[in-house]
Amino acid sequence: MRDAVVFIIWSEPVAKGRPRFARGRTYTAKKTKQYEDRVAEIARREMQSKPPLGGAVKMEVIACFRVPPSWPSWKRLAAQAGLIGHTHRPDLDNLGKAISDALNGIVYDDDCQITEMDIKKSYGYRNCVQVKVTPLKIHAAKNVTKEDLA
């Protein structure tokens, strides 16, 4: 079984934006598209031309937001120690969706392979997103036979 794919995106986390509509067509917002392209490029470098993971995978995402510089030092220290949660936008699920969509065809064939996902938002010293995709030791529904389970 292959090892987990792990990498860090050193920029502010960006959530998947709502689809945009123009002239009867649907398109992805520019900010979302640029972010997904950046995530995809970092993932390609990490994969080093290895094929995408097959079967079920688990994805773990930690989105770290820099503490606002306007906060007093006591509040900044408390946030960095994990005592204050990042309880405002962007939404947690949309952060995960931007990452999972960006990794399609690179880390795994399709994000439908994700059967487990852990996402966390927190404060820290720098903006970044830590991503870990781990192959799971379970069978993919599409390819499993009765003999595989015996």
8-67 pLDDT, tens digit each: 999 999 998 776 666 777 767 788 899 999 999 999 999 998 999 989 999 999 999 999
Dig out the tokens for 49 from the structure: 């031309």
In this prediction, residues 90-107 reach a mean pLDDT of 95
Residues 98 and 110 sit within 8 Å (Cβ to Cβ): no
Secondary structure (3-state) at 12: coil
pTM for this model (two decimals): 0.86
Give the C-alpha distances (Å, rounded to integers) separating 144 from 7, 19, 94, 133. Answer: 30, 35, 31, 22
**What gap in Å lies between CA 43 and CA 23, rounded to an integer?**
33
C-alpha–C-alpha distance, residues 70 and 119, integer Å = 27
Q: How confident is the model at residue 147 (pLDDT cuts 50, 70, 90)?
A: confident
